[in-house]
Chains A and B, each alone.
Chain A
Amino acid sequence: MKKQFFLFLALLAFSFHYCNDNNLFYKNDLKEVKINTVVIKKRFNNKIYDLKVSVGESFLGKVSSFSVEVLGNDTTLEKVLLANKENIKNNIVAITSMKSSAKGGKGNGMFTVGNCTSNCTSKWHCSDKPTESGALLCALDCVLECSRA
């Protein structure tokens, strides 16, 4: 009787453990980054190549990643593209520093002098400066940074 009871208990525990992993209401995952993909056609040396362009979307729809893939078995265009690494680097820098980029974009649609100043004074612990003059000069640097265009 005792053995049966423990067997039952073990089965019960196992079933709950199993349920915990498999039988919950998680129908989708977090959508932290959305990736938009398009296939475009590019003519090179009288041949048309399919390029798969993917743009990663971060918070507030800003660009967080960018990739270009040449579809098909012909690697000619890929080799040509990869040969000019400096050009690729410059293009990526230009994309990531655009206004709509997550890294370089200025503002998030809600810039306020108040928020900017409070973030700045908080970061540099202005009110913890040992003297009142120190506290004021620190906070003034933040005000200058945030209130001027």
Chain B
Amino acid sequence: MRKNIILFLLFVCFSFSVTAQSFVVQYAYSKHVMKDSTKIVSQNTFLNIDENQSTFFSEAPYLADSIMTSDEKLGKKINFKTLPNNFLSCHIRKKLSSKGIIYYSDEFGEHEYKYSEEPKLSWKIGKESKEIMGFKVYLAKTRYAGRNYEAYFAPEIPIQDGPYKFFGLPGLILEIFDEKKDHHFLAVGISHEKRISIDALIAQKKYIETTKTKFVEMRKNHIEAPMKRMFELMNSTQIYEKKDANGNVVDVRKLLNETQRKMIEEYKKENKIEL
């Protein structure tokens, strides 16, 4: 009987501690705008931590969706050039119990991909410490996807989670950056109140399930010929001319060639987090 009571009490304690872990961490994500560039751009990103999983995402797709909905309601033409871009090009969902993540791509538009991964993060915890948002944080180092990272974690917040795919330290990661500072995540706020969520956007999108290896291969092919599908459609439909908004006739082949060249140049310069 006594054993049952203790077990019951433990269960009560556990369930309360679990509900207490539902909160959101805001990270300022900064990156060099391009490879070898000194210009830095930054964006808000959020880590929504729930009972048994967390979701890490940029505010950009959420903002873009809001702007498009608002423009449509007001009868305004959507200006796609001014919509915020997702600097991460993905959303990450983690299941810490299984040490696994699901990567949801956010860069191809209509056909997005998702893959599962169990990142092997081998952490070396150092003695250096500092303060971030009033928490004492300790240094830890790891290597992932071709970059060496330095992370600062807070043992006061006993959650083994962090931004992007990073996790596995004995406390929440409040800062992490690679040695070149090409990518930098810094916690700037923690709150109970989740004012922003990406769950609805993930739910309404169609994701093609794949593996990381296939995804990397597919992306490599895409950046070599991003307009490949458009050229195929042009040839099969034999549409070689089109009128633009001003009524001028546009040579479709020339337009696609020019656009593809621009896109390839952009891809060559891009500062991807995973090398």
Contacts and interface: CB of A to CB of B under 8 A. Distances in A.
A111 B85 contact: yes
Interface residues of A, number: 55
Given A30-B26, A59-B43, A143-B230, A108 B85 contact: yes
Interface centre among B41, B189, B258 (most CB of A within 10 A): B189
A99 to B, nearest CB: 10
A137 B133 contact: no
Contact residues of B: prevailing secondary structure: mixed
A5 B262 contact: no
Given A119-B83, A147-B259, A110 B33 contact: yes
Contacts of A106: 79, 81-82
Interface centre among B63, B87, B190 (most CB of A within 10 A): B190
A83 to B, nearest CB: 29
Contacts of B245: 144
B273 interface: no
A26 interface: yes
B247 interface: no
Interface stretch (A11-19, A40-48, A70-78): A11-19
A144 B255 contact: yes
B82 A140 contact: no
Interface centre among A17, A30, A144 (most CB of B within 10 A): A30
Interface centre among A25, A28, A106, A117 (most CB of B within 10 A): A25
Given A25-B156, A59-B84, A137 B258 contact: no
23 contacts: A12-B13, A20-B16, A25-B190, A59-B44, A108-B60, A108-B85, A109-B39, A111-B81, A111-B85, A114-B226, A115-B86, A117-B259, A118-B110, A123-B80, A125-B110, A127-B110, A135-B233, A139-B230, A143-B255, A143-B259, A145-B80, A146-B80, A146-B81
Interface in B131-167: 133-135, 156-157
Contacts of B189: 28-31
A112 interface: yes
A55 B239 CA distance: 50
A116 interface: yes
Contacts of A9: 9, 12
- What 4 pairs between A and B have smallest CB-CB spacing? A118-B109, A16-B16, A122-B109, A136-B233
A121 B63 contact: no
A105 B63 CA distance: 14
Given A16-B12, A136-B234, A145-B80, A109 B41 contact: yes
Contacts of A137: 239, 242
Interface centre among B26, B85, B191, B262 (most CB of A within 10 A): B85
